[in-house]
Structure 1
Amino acid sequence: MSGSFPRASAGNPDCNAVDLVRAALRDGIALRWQLLEEQTEQIAAAAAYLRGAIERGNKLLLCGNGGSAADCQHIAAELTGRFGSTPRRALPALALTTDTSALTAIANDFGFAQVFARQVEALGKEGDVLWAVSTSGSSPNVLRAAEQARAQGLWVLAMSGPTAGELGTLADITICVPGRTTDRIQELHVTVGHIICNLLDQAFIRPRPAPAAQRDGG
């Protein structure tokens, strides 16, 4: 038929491509085992503190750049919406990466290094949590946000690569994930984020209503 496109066919994959896929998957599996051995207690501790902050009426602010910005928005959406299927109340989480008017105005007037710190100054209050995400641990705007958070009495949770860099010195707790490349580090950041969201889901699940007779004491 004139103007139609040929149907795509699967064909036989290139042997080199298959080897690359296998290597990537094996690397990801090995890094998850390493994460299990090295960071289990840190992840559980971070979730416990987030639970306590939310129970006290505080909120979670998240910041990061690029893929880490997407991770921040992802986590905030899981918490304000829902992660699992069991009902729970909405949890207060805000990604500082989503307001383009604020980001561009602050970058224009104060410099890009201040795009998160200025929002922390405006929105953060003592007892809130800043979840700062940086694969390198050295992103200037994330560092400035962590500094501002500490100055205002916020608790700082850092999520970084194998070394936390300067960000680790500003954080109350740091989750360092293994990985030699940014893509692998970001994959583990998503894993950690999902684990923490699941722990918070379990913590804030709404109890099932008691049967009428039980509620009446009958």
Structure 2
Amino acid sequence: MRFSTGGRHVAALRTALVALEAEIGRVERWGHLLADRLVDGGRLLAVGNGGSAAEAQHLTAELVGRYVDERMPLSAIALCTDSAAVTAISNDYGLEAAFARQVRAHARPGDVLVALSTSGRSANVLAAVEAARDCGAIVWALTGPGPNPLTEVCDDALCAAAAATATIQEIHLIAIHLLCAAVDSRVAASVPAEEVVA
């Protein structure tokens, strides 16, 4: 039986989703630790290029705003969104430093950096990870098949079981939603309802 291009895409996504199901425990552990750090005044930083930048922005928006449940706003910054900083740093220090310099400005020990790269080889994402580790931050990766350079330098990684960039990004988006759900659950269990503010 021959599949259309769309059929092959859906079949690849189905296979990758089955693999993601085995990673739910990992993502929930991340979410619980992240919630604890954020409630205690820590910060999440997120980096990525292209579609991964959009997903980094999606993650931080869900935390600063809300995913599903009402809860306190949580500190989260997508380092790709400040166009003045990204372009100035890239102009003065090179594109590879675009995120790393921001990490050095914002990250504190115990903060969390989520690094997104479908290939696991983006030089500016890898430089951001190095900067985060120097700052004492926890580093997690959402990436494609491992091992790759990104998985080698992070504290933990979720590797999408897919070859196509689009499918990897789709798995990352689902993982982001699972992470946000775990954060919401943990915050709801740890923060009294009267402390929830709009």
Cα RMSD after superposing both structures: 1.7
Residue in structure 2 matched with residue 36 of structure 1 by the alignment: 21
Displacement of 1:19 in angstroms is 3.1
Identical-residue share of aligned pairs (%) = 38
CA deviations 1:149-184 (Å, max 9, x no partner) are 111111111111111412112211111111011000
Q: Larger Cα Rg: Structure 1 or Structure 2?
A: 1
Displacement of 1:208 in angstroms is 4.8
Residue in structure 2 matched with residue 24 of structure 1 by the alignment: 9
Contact kept? 1:82, 1:90, Cα under 8 Å: yes
Listed as ranges, the gaps of 5+ residues in structure 1 are 1-15, 210-218
Residue in structure 2 matched with residue 6 of structure 1 by the alignment: none
Tell me if 1:134 matches 2:117. Answer: yes
Matching residue's letter, 1:73: Q
Matched residues in 2 for 1:158 and 1:126: separation? 18
Secondary structure at the residue paired with 2:140? Answer: strand
Per chain length, whose mean CA-contact separation is higher, i.e. which structure has more relative contact order (CA < 8 Å, sep 6+)?
Answer: 2
Alignment of 1:1-218 (within 5 A): 19-37=4-22, 39-84=23-68, 86-205=69-188, 207-208=192-193
Secondary structure at the residue paired with 1:204? Answer: helix
Matched residues in 2 for 1:24 and 1:138: separation? 24
Displacement of 1:51 in angstroms is 1.8
Change beyond 3 A, Cα 1:208–1:50: closer
> TM-score, normalised to structure 2's length?
0.91
Aligned length: 191
Matched residues in 2 for 1:113 and 1:164: separation? 22
Matched residues in 1 for 2:21 and 2:36: separation? 24
Contact kept? 2:140, 2:156, Cα under 8 Å: yes
Matched residues in 2 for 1:179 and 1:126: separation? 33
> TM-score, normalised to structure 1's length?
0.83
CA deviations 1:56-99 (Å, max 9, x no partner) are 31100000000000000001001100111x31111111000001
Listed as ranges, the gaps of 5+ residues in structure 2 are none
Matched residues in 2 for 1:168 and 1:72: separation? 17
Matched residues in 2 for 1:54 and 1:155: separation? 13
Matched residues in 1 for 2:133 and 2:15: separation? 35
- Stretches of 4+ aligned residues off by more than 3 angstroms: 206-209
